[in-house]
Amino acid sequence: MTETEQNRRPARPRTAAGALFFNDKGHVLLVRPSYKPKWEIPGGYIEEGESPLAACRREVEEELGITPAIGALLVVDWAPNEAEGDKVLYVFDGGEPRPEDLNALKPDGDEILAAEFHPAEAVDQLLIPRLARRVKQAITAREQDHPQYLEHGAPPSHGSLTTATSQLP
């Protein structure tokens, strides 16, 4: 074993999971967090011993007060940043919530101030750039019924190696 191999440490990424919900017009449900200036998708960090799907369900219930069925995985995004290190983010298909879920939808008021449907075309203005890219790729994955692997919200270039230093905004 070389010295370089001995100095390598296994990655311990922070992981998060969220869901995309759609209305009958194809608009996406976004949430307005109290602690950030931009909108987000419902979801949050995965706790120790918790699966990404279980975390997604828990976060949706905590943030919105509903327990809708969560569907298939749409994207997995490797998106490290300097402030938080390595991150792996999962986005699941929340589908179109039932009328009773929409009627029961209640942002928690502390962490989430609002939950509203927005046209997919508006995500570039409402979300931070890497999340906007991730959401657009998730919408495409849903339309194609084919999950996507992403790096920084975009499909990786074929034949290239991506590192944390080649971050996109």
Instruction: Note the pLDDT tens digit of each residue in 15-69.
Output: 999 999 999 999 999 999 999 999 999 999 999 999 999 999 999 999 999 999 9
DSSP-assigned letters across all residues of 91-118: EEEEES--HHHHHH----SSSEEEEEEE
The string of pLDDT tens digits covering residues 62-115 is 999 999 999 999 999 999 988 889 999 999 999 999 999 999 999 999 999 999
Q: Please state, in angstroms and as integers, the Cα–Cα distance from residue 147 to each residue in 67, 93, 153, following that order.
A: 23, 10, 13
Residue ranges of domains in the chain: 13-156
Tell me the Cα Rg of the chain: 17
- Other C-beta atoms closer than 10 Å to the C-beta of 59 total 22
pLDDT of 157: 84
Which CATH number describes the domain made up of 13-156?
3.90.79.10
Strand partners of residue 40: 31
pLDDT of 163: 47
The string of pLDDT tens digits covering residues 123-142 is 999 999 999 999 999 999 99
**Coil, helix or strand at residue 73:** strand
- Identity of the residue numbered 139: I
If residue 132 lies in a helix (H) or strand (E), which one and from where to where? helix 129-144
- Other C-beta atoms closer than 10 Å to the C-beta of 40 total 20
pTM of the model: 0.89
